Amino acid sequence: MNELQPPFRRQVLFNEDVLHSVSPLEYRVESGYINVTRSDFFFYLFMSCILSGCSSMQDAPIFLWSQGGPGCTSMEGAFTETGPLELHGILQSDAVYNKIALTRNLFGWNHYGHLLFVDQPRYTGYSYGTGPQASGELETTRDILNFIVQWRALFSEYAGPLVFTGESGAGYLLPEAAKALLDFDNSITRNSANRVQLSGLILGNPCFSFGSIREYVRARVPWIRSREEFNSLNPYDVRLQDRPFHKNCSSRYGGGWDYVPFARWLDRRDVRKVLNTNALGGTSFGGCERGCIEIKNFDYDSYSPVRALSQLLLAGISITLYHGTNSLGCNYLATYEALKKMTWTGREGFLRAPYRKFMLNGIRVGRMKIHSIGKATLTWIEVDQASHMVPRSHPSVGLHILRTHIHHYSPDSLGSFMMSDFKLQDIQLIPFLLMMSVFLLNGRLFGKRAVNAAGNMI
């Protein structure tokens, strides 16, 4: 492959080394590269809606996923969180990356629309180029806009509305980018083929603020008494001890999970060939890398995510913010405190809105509040005992959050939702219900064991 001419759109054809059981998939998988500048390319992975999930492939929503960091590959979301294929166990320290293959994820978000995973900003993941890194709001939003307009033209058969999704550090980038896309749509004619058609924003544990750490520790892990005990917490899930770095590796990205096997899997030659990347990009993979790049001099001060959220809501864009309550980094208390600074006319109504139970299959899985003014709805969800990556630790709940956003359920109606309404035609009922019970109860049971263990250690 000529490095100057990367594939713009090519089907992903899995083999048995990369995907267990290559029986025909119910959806189409494609990948490629799109110019965001004359010398820089974003890599994307597209997974269409499953055939049994969408009544119209043309009009189904497109969920664009961007990972956190900023600078971490969105292949993490694709293969460990919201995608229909997963690398089960890849983030365990004893994972053997050269023997692991993808398996089916029953709770992939393409049951309700198309999935578009994008490696951004520049040089993230498989993205590559020769230009400078993008380190501020102006460059990152312009690149995302350029990507989406060109992707829309390349995939013109998919004309549904666009919903931004992501987590963690994406909370800085996506609100500003969404506002820029909205301004772009408003600047062109309504029937223009270049319209982005932004319709919503879904963010998990967004990093609007890095504060409220002391308050979070008092509320969630009150048994912590020393800095040493605090430093032993896993920032992604305080039920767990922090993971040591991978063998023979140190890391500038901190602890949490062991991402080295995951990054090495993405750097495998056969995986690269299947994903149509070959030797392009990938400086964040291999060796001791963890799927992320370091963006030097990243200008956090150039972003105003809460202001952008307010402007989106005023423009009629619905927003869902969800949090795993066990996440120390970008925790729910910090986000809620940041929302008090919104300039949205519905701010006071949202803050006064009562909390209700967030229910799934008749079981409380968290709490929520919801407030609407005009076309815009702001939904807030806290998921009990969930980690920083809710779709990973609680996949069924993650899918339920997506469904909640799409249909704007009221808190009172959510309790009646059952996963039996969910279109999984190829799953036998009894094994499925047993699996659901494990997913729903695992957080609570494991959480109690972790709390007891922590108490015994102290």
Residue 302: inside a domain = yes
- pLDDT computed for residue 293 by the predictor: 83
The token pair at 285 is: 């993979």
Domain membership flag for residue 317: yes
Structural domain total, the chain: 1
Give the N- to C-terminal CA distance of the chain in Å, as an integer. Answer: 57
Is 2 inside a domain boundary?
Answer: no
Task: Supply 394's token pair.
Answer: 């609680």
Q: How much is the pLDDT for 54?
A: 84
- Structural domain includes residue 260: yes
Give the Cα separation of 285 and 290 in Å (integer). Answer: 6
Domain housing 168: 10-457
Element (H, E) at 324: strand 318-324
Exposure b/e, 238-258, CB count within 10 A at least 16 = b: bbbebbebbeeeebebebbbb
Q: Which pLDDT score, from 0 to 100, does residue 22 have? A: 66
Contact 381, 332 (CB under 8 A): no
Residue 1 resides in a domain: no
In 190-291, alpha helices (H): 213-220, 227-231, 260-266, 269-274
3-class DSSP state for residue 101? coil
Tokens at residue 410, please?
């009221």
Report the alpha-carbon distance of residue 293 to residue 291 in Å, rounded.
7
Residue 4 lies in a domain: no
Tokens 């350029």 correspond to what residue?
146
* pTM score of the predicted model: 0.87
Structure tokens at 362: 């008749």
Question: Is residue 389 within 8 Å of residue 77, measured between CB atoms?
Answer: no
What's the token pair of residue 132? 């400078």
Phi and psi for 232 in degrees, rounded to 5?
Answer: -85, -10
Q: Is 441 helix (H, G, I), strand (E, B) or coil?
A: helix
As a whole number of Å, the CA-based R_g of the chain is 21
Q: What is the distance between the alpha carbons of residues 12 and 15, in angstroms, rounded to a whole number? A: 10
The verdict on residue 403 lying in a domain is: yes
H-helix or E-strand spanning residue 326: none
Which residues in the chain come in under a pLDDT of 50?
1-3, 414-458
DSSP 8-state code for residue 355 = P
What CATH number does the domain containing 191 carry? 3.40.50.1820
CB neighbours of 362 closer than 8 A, spacing ≥ 6?
415, 418
Q: Side-chain half-sphere of 2: how many Cα atoms within 13 Å? A: 3
User: What local confidence, expressed as pLDDT, does residue 288 receive?
Assistant: 74
